[in-house]
């Protein structure tokens, strides 16, 4: 029985995935792009690992698992959230969001969760197909699997906050496309979604480990593989949660600052 | 006790505009030495609106009408001054304020573009936590008055401007707010829809809702509002009963005439003393005071001298009214405000 206070946000989540169904074509196109990416990465690593020698501790089945997990986390929280947000801020439609009896940040998170329902479903389907095509992957034992699931769930708020924070930059930049591309590029590398962090040179690896991005791909993938287990896994999940808390508070403060400089021209 | 429902004191909103020189060099220089011009969109507004009052807030484009509404609704944070609406400071307690108000922007819609209108309404029901029976009753009433029945299953993007406005009015009123702000609600609508919206607003006011209506079209407020506030250059230049403004400041009419054959303007001036005749013998305009002459009298006088091929009558626009406020010495011209 959901509480009364949750009712507005549940309604927002529901209408969000309903409206996502209205955007079938862009949704399918972006999914195709991600599947293409996944296939390219799988093919590339298959060649690199063809000799049978593990690279930096990765065998071919492990690398398959790593890439699949990072594909799943890549599907969650598409840039739909920040693009709609950016559009509403730049066009002035945000004025209407500000007259609704909901917290702006919580409402955007609810919207993102609504989309996640749809994204998880498609990710699951694609994973099934990839497993059939490229062969099975190792499945971790139960306690490790539980840790993995926690870290996977934590990806959603963490990734949302990264995307949402960059969306807020609209108040300062006026052109969002550049910000969005920059964020996507930085996050693709530093999250470990393209190449696991162990392959990075020392300085880049340190940078990746102090920034929040590793939490949206590398952390769940390493926990799934058992490369981070026990306390090590708990520590990585702790870092995810810490970043969620920091970014949530930071984004709230940024939002309040942004409102002071909000300008909406015309009627 | 008797605190007005809406109360603004010395309300000011200043925007900073980047001051860029021309061309690429100007943009480059702006990156290093940032210069800004301060622009007072609203410059010290004092406004009290009592519960149940219907106020027309009029002014030219850029006078500060919309900015005032955005400050009263809590969308913008004031640069200085105070504002309280139903005991709440709107920009500090947005959620409490949102429950008290309904907002309609003529140029923006809160309907979901890709979903049926009904879905937007359901979302609003949950957002405002309207009890189901209450929601059903209100929706039924609004559906009847605004003739929404055929619109409910249609997606937002497929509505015409007039249909959209009707749906947006309903969306803003579903939670039965005691205060309603309407920012240029009839902009771009055709006459028939405009009339319907006005009639709806009249009923709303008659039922005790406090209404603040901004517009630059004086026709909008006739019959809806008793009180008119005129803004110019971010300041209130006149505040009083609408009837007085209509009789004192908006008494001038212009008749534009195209005669079948050119006429002597001097003869027309002689036939209509006290009017102002301008133009060419082949196409001219007569400005007259509607208390001195009726339109029929003016037309009859012209027809006595020439056959009329075509004519039309202009009501005074907001531009005329603002000019008359300054001319009439009702207020001093605000210093520093661009004319």
Q: So what's the pLDDT on residue B223?
A: 77
A220 lies in a domain? yes
Which CATH code fits B251-314? 3.30.70
Higher-confidence position of B289 and A1? B289
A136 lies in a domain? yes
Q: How far is A246 from chain B (nearest CA, A)?
A: 23
Check whether B335 has a pLDDT greater than 60: no
Strand B101-105 and strand B179-183: the pairing is parallel
- Tell me which chain A residue has its CA closest to the CA of residue B131: A4
**CB contact, 8 Å: A1 with chain B?**
no
Mean pLDDT value of segment A251-255 = 94
A266 lies in a domain? no
Tell me the pLDDT tens digit for each residue of A40-81: 988 999 898 888 888 888 888 889 899 999 999 998 987 777
pLDDT band at B337; cut points 50, 70, 90:
very low
Q: So what's the pLDDT on residue B68?
A: 93
> How far are the Cα atoms of A160, B14, B259, B267, B317 from residue B311, in angstroms, in the given order?
63, 45, 8, 18, 18
Tell me the pLDDT tens digit for each residue of A107-156: 999 999 998 988 888 888 888 888 888 777 888 888 999 999 999 999 99
Q: What is chain A's alpha carbon radius of gyration, rounded to the nearest angstrom?
A: 19
Among B76, B98, B114, select the one facing A100 at the smallest CB separation: B98
> How far are the Cα atoms of A9, B4, B73, B138, B175 from residue B84, in angstroms, in the given order?
28, 9, 10, 28, 21
Cβ–Cβ below 8 Å for A19 and B115? yes
> What is the C-alpha to C-alpha distance for residues A38 and A34, in angstroms, rounded to an integer?
6
How many other CB atoms are there within 10 angstroms of residue B144's CB atom?
10
Cβ–Cβ below 8 Å for A267 and B76? no
Q: So what's the pLDDT on residue B292?
A: 87
Check whether B168 has a pLDDT greater than 90: yes
Q: So what's the pLDDT on residue A171?
A: 83
Q: So what's the pLDDT on residue B12?
A: 92
Cβ–Cβ below 8 Å for A96 and B103? yes
**CB contact, 8 Å: A266 with chain B?**
yes
A192 lies in a domain? yes
Which CATH code fits B6-248? 3.40.50.300
Q: How far is A179 from chain B (nearest CA, A)?
A: 18
Break chain B into its structural domains and give their ranges.
6-248, 251-314
CB pairs under 8 A between A and B: 83
**Chain B residues lying within 8 Å of A260, measured CB to CB:** 77
> What is the C-alpha to C-alpha distance for residues B326 and B62, in angstroms, rounded to an integer?
17
- Tell me which chain B residue has its CA closest to the CA of residue A18: B115
Check whether A11 has a pLDDT greater than 80: yes
**CB contact, 8 Å: A257 with chain B?**
no
Tell me the pLDDT tens digit for each residue of B292-303: 888 888 888 888
Cβ–Cβ below 8 Å for A10 and B105? no
Q: So what's the pLDDT on residue B336?
A: 37
A265 lies in a domain? no
Cβ–Cβ below 8 Å for A11 and B119? no
**CB contact, 8 Å: A103 with chain B?**
yes
Please count the structural domains in chain A. 1
**CB contact, 8 Å: A258 with chain B?**
no
Which residue range forms the structural domain that includes residue A58? 4-260
ipTM of the complex: 0.86
**CB contact, 8 Å: A88 with chain B?**
no
- Tell me which chain A residue has its CA closest to the CA of residue B214: A267
> How far are the Cα atoms of A168, B13, B17 from residue A81, in angstroms, in the given order?
11, 31, 29
């Amino acid at each position: 029985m959901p509480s009364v206070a949750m009712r507005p946000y549940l309604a927002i989540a529901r209408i969000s995935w309903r409206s996502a169904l209205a955007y079938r074509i862009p949704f399918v196109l972006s999914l195709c792009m991600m599947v293409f990416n996944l296939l390219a990465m799988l093919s590339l690593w298959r060649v690199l690992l063809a000799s049978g020698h593990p690279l930096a501790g990765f065998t071919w089945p492990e690398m398959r698992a790593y890439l699949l997990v990072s594909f799943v986390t890549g599907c969650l929280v598409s840039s739909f959230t920040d693009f709609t947000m950016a559009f509403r801020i730049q066009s002035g439609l945000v004025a209407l969001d500000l007259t609704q009896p909901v917290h702006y940040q919580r409402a955007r998170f609810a919207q993102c969760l609504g989309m996640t329902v749809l994204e998880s479903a498609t990710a699951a389907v694609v994973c099934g197909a990839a497993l059939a095509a490229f062969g099975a992957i190792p499945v971790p034992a139960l306690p490790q699997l539980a840790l993995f699931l926690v870290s996977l769930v934590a990806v959603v708020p963490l990734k949302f906050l990264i995307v949402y924070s960059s969306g807020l930059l609209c108040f300062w930049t006026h052109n969002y496309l550049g910000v969005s591309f920059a964020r996507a590029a930085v996050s693709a590398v530093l999250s470990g979604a393209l190449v696991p962090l162990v392959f990075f040179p020392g300085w880049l690896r340190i940078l990746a480990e102090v920034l929040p991005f590793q939490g949206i791909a590398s952390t769940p993938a390493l926990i799934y593989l058992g490369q981070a287990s026990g306390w090590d896994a708990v520590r990585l999940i702790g870092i995810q949660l810490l970043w969620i808390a920091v970014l949530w508070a930071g984004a709230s403060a940024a939002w309040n600052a942004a409102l002071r400089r909000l300008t909406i021209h015309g009627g | 006790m008797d605190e007005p429902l809406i109360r603004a004191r010395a309300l000011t909103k200043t925007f900073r505009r980047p001051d860029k020189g021309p061309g690429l060099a100007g943009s480059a220089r702006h990156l290093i030495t940032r210069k800004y011009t301060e622009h007072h969109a609203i410059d010290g507004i004092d406004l009290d609106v009592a519960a149940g009052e219907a106020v027309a807030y009029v002014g030219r484009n850029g006078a500060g009408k919309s900015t005032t509404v955005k400050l009263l609704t809590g969308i913008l944070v004031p640069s200085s001054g105070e504002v309280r609406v139903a005991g709440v400071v709107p920009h500090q307690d947005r959620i409490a304020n949102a429950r008290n108000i309904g907002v309609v922007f003529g140029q923006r819609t809160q309907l979901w573009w890709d979903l049926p209108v009904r879905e937007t309404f359901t979302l609003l029901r949950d957002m405002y936590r309207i009890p189901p029976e209450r929601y059903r009753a209100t929706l039924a009433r609004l559906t009847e008055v605004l003739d929404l029945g055929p619109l409910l299953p249609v997606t937002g993007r497929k509505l015409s401007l007039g249909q959209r406005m009707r749906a947006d009015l309903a969306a803003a009123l579903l939670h039965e707010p005691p205060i309603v702000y309407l920012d240029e609600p009839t902009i771009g609508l055709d006459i028939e829809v405009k009339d319907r919206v006005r009639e709806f607003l009249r009923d709303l006011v008659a039922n005790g809702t406090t209404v603040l209506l901004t517009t630059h079209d004086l026709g909008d407020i006739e019959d809806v509002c008793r009180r008119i506030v005129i803004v110019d250059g971010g300041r209130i230049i006149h505040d009083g009963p609408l009837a007085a403004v209509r009789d004192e400041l908006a008494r001038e009419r212009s008749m534009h005439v195209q005669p079948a054959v050119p006429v002597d303007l001097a003869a027309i001036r002689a036939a209509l003393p006290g009017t102002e005749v301008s133009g060419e013998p082949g196409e001219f305009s007569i400005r007259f005071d509607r208390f001195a002459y009726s339109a029929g009298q003016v037309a009859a006088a012209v027809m006595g001298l020439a056959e009329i091929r075509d004519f039309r009558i202009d009501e005074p626009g907001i531009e005329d009214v603002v000019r008359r406020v300054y001319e009439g010495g009702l207020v001093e011209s605000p210093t520093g405000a661009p004319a």
